[in-house]
């Protein structure tokens, strides 16, 4: 009998421990994550495509904007690019013309030198023939031999001059064609830099047509068509269609009973339906309860703010009041066992 009594006491204590989570109960308000639409530059609103309360889907156009400075710079870059390509064509044509002039000058000089060489060679050949007929006249032969030596020297000099003329012309043409290639490379590099800048500017221009990333509901529209707004000014506020979180407030005497990662039960105060959530954040200081969550509005209550994530597929309304309770320990144990048995 004594042992039975002891076992009963132990059982009661154990059950009390297992169910102690039910004593943690506090209230909160169902909310949804929000996002604001803004841009980092001063812009003008061209056309607003949404109104408050409108449901939007992924990819829907929200607003069209314009930037005067962006359009101006794009036009400047296009003009610079056109001018650069035009200068490149003119410079190439000028260099080609100079190469043609050098080639023409070379041809003229070459023809003159070759004509002179042929003339001297012909005269040299005649002198040789005359010298062979006048072998008996020794003095005349000596004179002709001296004359032939002078002609041979002049022919060699002309041949050397021809080589120099050809070498100089080749060097000039090489320099001109090299400058043409350098000009082409420099122009191509400058043009490529301008094209890259134009691509970036075009991307910025495209980004001025703002589209939705996901499904939302328009909570507020803060600008109108034709309005000029400064950088980072919120133009549109978007919220989810159904609550995705609960902002709860736990009394300052109880806030240590919960922590980040704690599983809680959310209970609708309208119809009593339940769903589970997870605490993902706790305020770093004690705050005043909202008047709506006070049993006596005139009585100021303090506690800690608790942020609870809930499944977005739920029947709660935005702004609906809910009750929050910690999931009992026994339920956690049973859920853990069930998850182990059904991996």
Q: Where are the domains of the chain?
A: 24-65+222-341, 69-204
- pLDDT of 320-333, one tens digit each? 999 999 865 444 44
> What pLDDT does residue 110 have?
82
> What pLDDT does residue 18 have?
47
- Residues 6 or more apart whose CB falls under 8 angstroms from that of 83 comprise none
Spatial CA neighbour of 89 closest among 173, 183, 22: 183
User: Rounded mean pLDDT of the chain?
Assistant: 80
> What pLDDT does residue 85 have?
65
Find out whether 203 and 55 touch, Cβ atoms under 8 Å.
no
What is the percent of the chain with per-residue pLDDT over 70, rounded to a whole number? Answer: 76
Helix, strand counts (H, E) of the chain: 4, 14
- pLDDT of 152-171, one tens digit each? 788 888 788 888 878 877 87
Spatial CA neighbour of 62 closest among 72, 76, 52, 75: 52
Q: How confident is the model at residue 302 (pLDDT cuts 50, 70, 90)?
A: very high
| Cα angle, residue 274 at apex, residues 301 and 19 outer, rounded to 5° | 70
68-82, 135-149, 289-303, 304-318: least confident range:
135-149
> What pLDDT does residue 336 have?
46
CATH class belonging to 69-204: mainly alpha
User: Rg of the chain's alpha carbons, rounded to an integer?
Assistant: 48
- pLDDT of 168-182, one tens digit each? 778 777 776 665 555
- pLDDT of 12-28, one tens digit each? 545 554 444 445 789 99
Q: How confident is the model at residue 334 (pLDDT cuts 50, 70, 90)?
A: very low
| E runs forming strands in the chain | 25-31, 34-37, 43-48, 55-56, 61-66, 209-211, 216-221, 228-229, 236-239, 245-251, 263-268, 274-288, 302-309, 321-326
> What pLDDT does residue 148 have?
62
| Parallel/antiparallel/unpaired status of strands 216-221 and 55-56 | antiparallel
pLDDT of residue 129 exceeding 50, the answer is yes
What is the percent of the chain with per-residue pLDDT over 90, rounded to a whole number? Answer: 36
Instruction: Kindly state the greatest CA–CA separation across the chain.
Output: 170
pLDDT of residue 288 exceeding 70, the answer is yes
Check residues 71 and 279 and name the one with the higher pLDDT.
279
Enumerate the β-bridge partners of residue 306. Answer: 248, 282
- pLDDT of 197-256, one tens digit each? 889 999 999 999 999 998 899 999 999 999 999 999 999 999 988 899 999 999 988 888
**Counting Cβ atoms within 10 Å, is residue 264 exposed (0-12), middle (13-18) or buried (19+)?**
buried
4-18, 118-132, 233-247: least confident range:
4-18
> What pLDDT does residue 338 have?
47
Average pLDDT value for residue range 182-204: 79
């Amino acid at each position: 009998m004594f042992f039975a009594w002891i076992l009963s006491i132990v059982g009661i204590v154990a059950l009390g421990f297992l169910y102690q989570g039910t004593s943690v109960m506090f209230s909160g308000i169902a909310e949804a994550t929000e996002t604001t639409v803004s841009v980092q530059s001063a812009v003008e609103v061209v056309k607003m495509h949404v109104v408050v309360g409108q449901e939007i889907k992924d990819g829907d156009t929200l607003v069209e904007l314009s930037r005067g400075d962006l359009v101006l710079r794009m036009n400047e870059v296009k003009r610079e690019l056109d001018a650069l390509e035009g200068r490149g064509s003119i410079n190439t044509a000028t260099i080609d013309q100079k190469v043609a002039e050098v080639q023409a000058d070379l041809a003229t000089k070459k023809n003159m030198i070759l004509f002179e060489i042929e003339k001297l060679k012909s005269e040299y050949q005649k002198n040789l023939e005359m010298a062979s007929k006048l072998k008996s006249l020794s003095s005349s032969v000596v004179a002709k031999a001296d004359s032939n030596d002078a002609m041979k020297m002049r022919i060699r000099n002309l041949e050397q001059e021809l080589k120099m003329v050809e070498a100089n012309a080749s060097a000039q043409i090489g320099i001109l064609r090299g400058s043409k290639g350098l000009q082409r490379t420099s122009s191509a590099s400058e043009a490529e830099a301008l094209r890259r800048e134009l691509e970036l500017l075009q991307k910025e221009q495209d980004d001025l047509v703002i589209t939705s990333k996901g499904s939302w509901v328009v909570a507020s529209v803060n600008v109108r068509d034709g309005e000029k707004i400064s950088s980072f000014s919120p133009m549109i506020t978007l919220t989810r269609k159904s609550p995705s979180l609960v902002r709860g407030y736990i009394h300052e005497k109880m806030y240590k009973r919960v922590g980040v990662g704690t599983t809680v039960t959310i209970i609708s105060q309208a119809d009593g339906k339940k769903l589970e959530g997870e605490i993902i954040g706790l305020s770093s200081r004690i705050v005043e309860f909202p008047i709506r969550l006070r049993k006596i509005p005139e009585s100021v209550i303090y506690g800690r703010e608790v942020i609870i994530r809930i499944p977005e597929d739920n029947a709660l309304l935005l702004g609906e009041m809910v009750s929050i309770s910690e999931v009992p320990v026994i339920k956690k144990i049973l859920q853990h066992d069930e998850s182990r048995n059904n991996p």
